[in-house]
């Protein structure tokens, strides 16, 4: 994966353009408190989830882990998570309830 770090970077760039970061998606029903920081929190949450799933996949496939696995994971993640507004809303509420909606919380999510 070290040779293909650009794939995750491309995902983040695509996410930023697709969701009009930091203005947020144009769906009218999303999370209650839309702010730049909330949009950043969702971006960091997606990054940390994909990264964690990739670590698990790499551990499972070991030497057989290939770029096709990374691409399939990101496609599946986008279909299952990004398009589910209720999940995004619940994730933002969970992060807020856990007092992780600050810089320290975002740092923890990025470092996972």
Per-residue pLDDT of the chain (112 residues; tens, 9 = 90+): 567 788 888 988 888 888 776 665 555 445 555 677 778 888 888 888 999 899 899 899 989 889 999 999 999 998 898 878 788 888 888 888 888 877 787 787 777 6
* Domain containing residue 105: 2-111
Kindly report whether the global pTM for this prediction surpasses the value 0.85.
no
Give the CB-side neighbour count of residue 101, counting CA atoms within 13 A.
17
> Cβ distance 43 to 16 under 8 Å?
yes
pLDDT score at 25:
58
Domain count, the chain: 1
Say if residues 88 and 24 touch (Cβ distance below 8 Å): no
**Is the sign of the CA dihedral 9, 12, 17, 21 positive or negative?**
negative
Task: Report CA-CA distances (Å) from 59 to 24, 34, 54, 62, 74.
Answer: 34, 36, 8, 5, 17
Q: For residue 56, what pLDDT is reported?
A: 93
| pLDDT score for 53 | 92
């Amino acid at each position: 994966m070290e040779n293909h770090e650009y794939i995750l970077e491309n995902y983040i760039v695509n996410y930023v353009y697709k969701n009009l970061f930091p203005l947020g998606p144009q769906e009218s029903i999303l999370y209650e408190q839309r702010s730049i920081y909330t949009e950043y929190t969702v971006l960091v949450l997606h990054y940390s989830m994909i990264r964690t799933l990739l670590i698990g996949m790499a551990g499972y496939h070991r030497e057989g882990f290939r770029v096709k696995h990374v691409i399939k994971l990101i496609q599946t993640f986008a279909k299952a998570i990004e398009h589910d507004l209720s999940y995004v809303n619940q994730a933002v509420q969970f992060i807020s309830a856990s007092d992780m909606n600050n810089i320290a919380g975002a740092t923890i999510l990025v470092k996972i």
